[in-house]
């Protein structure tokens, strides 16, 4: 239980206090309830920032954070319905959306995946909390009634929109794919063993060797390559350079380059590929760097942005990709594309040699 998670839990603890303040009658009780609602709502922003800044992002936090948001807002809305301050159908819409997303998270958990809050989901939460604050204050301040109505309408729109966004982002969880019977293309899905087999044949025929440098894929490319029997004859090794320090120390990526263009860039991908090829003395090398998601971890670059580079003895080439799946899907797509680029480069090298 770290500080970010404790802040998240505080929203759950505050629920009965807020409900009591809304139901009791004493001078200023609505104002006190609104002030506490705002104060505890701010913890939703603080806990995430603290977790990312301190490196304490956890699966528990990813699960608790959206759960606390839902219960915190819904509990207050139910009391407001009882007090006649908001229509019941609005709570039904919000509750239905949250129930669907909770079911989606349960499906993801059964597959070993944690579905964290998406950007549009965070916007939904902000609009809901603003609407709830105005709904509380409209009782002592009737002038706020039309503003509260507008805020509620905006909250409903973002609630429905974010629900559809989640369903689209994680649609593959609801429609499982039998990867043993079909081969998925560049759009994503499970890793393609056939690509690793094709690469294996090409490397053997050309008498070539390969090394990998991976950041966002975390060793997935090397794992796919080594799933092939006899891969030790052409796969030399690799470096999982997740931090900038490792990129700099193990792959000779310059600090100046990392500071100027960022770790997720074409230039850094190419430097990683050249660095690992030189380090292991291989014919070829591939490097992957990207933002797998679900958050950009403070970067202004979009989730799914990925750069893959392949280095050979004569040239270094790279490509930019923008994947639109969840974290697991983005990593698999990147690994598949890395294999495709290696296969293309092996063929190019063999043509030049012949």
> Which tokens belong to 207?
């008498």
pLDDT computed for residue 183 by the predictor: 43
Structure tokens at 185: 């293309």
- What are the structural domains, with CATH classification, of the chain? 3-174 (1.20.120.1760), 194-353 (3.90.950.20)
- Position 246 scores a pLDDT of 94
φ and ψ of 61, to 5 deg:
-65, -40
Listed in sequence order, the residues at least 6 apart from 149 whose beta carbon sits closer than 8 Å to its beta carbon are none
Q: What is the pLDDT of residues 130-158, one digit of tens each?
A: 999 999 999 999 999 999 999 999 999 99
Where do the H-state alpha helices sit in the chain?
3-23, 29-54, 59-82, 88-110, 119-137, 145-169, 171-174, 193-206, 220-226, 244-251, 255-261, 266-280, 327-353
Q: Which stretches of the chain drop beneath a pLDDT of 70?
A: 1, 48-49, 51-62, 108-119, 172-193, 296-298, 351-354
What pLDDT is attached to residue 169?
72
Can you tell me the distance from the alpha carbon of 341 to that of 232, in angstroms, rounded to the nearest whole number?
20
- Give pTM, 2 decimals: 0.52
């Amino acid at each position: 239980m770290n500080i970010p998670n404790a802040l998240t839990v505080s929203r759950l603890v505050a629920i009965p206090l807020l409900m009591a303040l809304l139901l009791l009658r004493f001078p200023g009780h609505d104002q006190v309830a609104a002030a506490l609602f705002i104060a505890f709502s701010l913890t939703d922003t603080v806990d995430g920032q603290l977790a990312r800044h301190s490196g304490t992002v956890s699966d528990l936090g990813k699960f608790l954070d959206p759960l606390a948001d839902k219960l915190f807002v819904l509990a207050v809305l139910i009391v407001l319905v009882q007090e006649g301050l908001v229509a019941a159908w609005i709570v039904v819409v919000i509750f239905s959306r949250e129930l669907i997303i909770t079911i989606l998270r349960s499906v993801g958990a059964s597959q070993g995946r944690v579905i964290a809050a998406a950007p549009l989901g965070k916007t939904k939460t902000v609009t809901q909390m603003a609407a709830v604050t105005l709904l509380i204050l409209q009782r002592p301040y009737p002038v706020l009634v039309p503003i509260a109505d507008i805020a509620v309408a905006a909250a409903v729109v973002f609630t429905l929109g974010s629900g559809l966004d989640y369903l689209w982002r994680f649609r593959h969880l609801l429609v499982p794919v039998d990867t043993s019977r079909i081969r998925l293309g560049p759009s994503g899905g499970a890793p393609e063993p056939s690509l690793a087999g094709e690469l294996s044949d090409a490397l053997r025929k050309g008498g070539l060797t390969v090394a990998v440098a991976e950041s966002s894929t975390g060793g997935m490319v090397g794992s796919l390559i080594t799933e092939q029997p006899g891969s030790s004859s052409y796969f030399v090794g690799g470096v999982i350079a997740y931090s900038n320090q490792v990129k700099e120390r193990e792959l000779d990526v310059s600090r100046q380059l990392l500071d100027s263009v960022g770790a997720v860039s074409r230039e850094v991908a190419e430097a990683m590929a050249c660095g690992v090829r030189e380090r292991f003395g291989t014919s070829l090398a591939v490097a992957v760097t990207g933002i797998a998601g679900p958050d950009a971890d403070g970067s202004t670059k979009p989730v799914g942005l990925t750069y893959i580079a392949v280095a050979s003895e004569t040239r270094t080439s790279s490509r930019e990709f923008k994947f639109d799946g969840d974290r697991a899907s983005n990593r698999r797509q990147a690994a598949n594309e890395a294999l495709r680029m290696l296969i293309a480069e092996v063929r190019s090298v063999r043509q030049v040699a012949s």
